[in-house]
Amino acid sequence: MHIKIDGADATLDGKQTVLQMLTVPNVCYHPGLGPIETCDTCLVSVNGELNRYSCT
């Protein structure tokens, strides 16, 4: 998957989420629990719309 982060192109290999690739602090994500999608720290803009996709 090809994505753009702060104007820079990046590629995900399908094994990592955007949140894992960025290695930013997060509140609710834990690899043992899977995506929870409730705390909104994973919000990303996808085609101009905010979505909880970075943890999934």
Q: What's the confidence (pLDDT) of residue 51?
A: 83
16: Cα within 13 Å, side-chain hemisphere: 12
Q: What's the confidence (pLDDT) of residue 6?
A: 81
Q: Which domain holds residue 49?
A: 17-56
Q: What's the confidence (pLDDT) of residue 45?
A: 84
Task: Give the count of domains, the chain.
Answer: 1
Residues of the chain where predicted confidence (pLDDT) is lower than 70: 23-31, 34-37, 55-56
Q: What's the confidence (pLDDT) of residue 15?
A: 82
Tokens 């290695």 -> residue: 23
Q: How far is CA 2 from CA 11, 15, 33, 56, in A?
A: 5, 13, 26, 15
Task: Judge whether 23 lies within some domain.
Answer: yes
Task: Judge whether 5 lies within some domain.
Answer: no
Q: What's the confidence (pLDDT) of residue 26?
A: 62
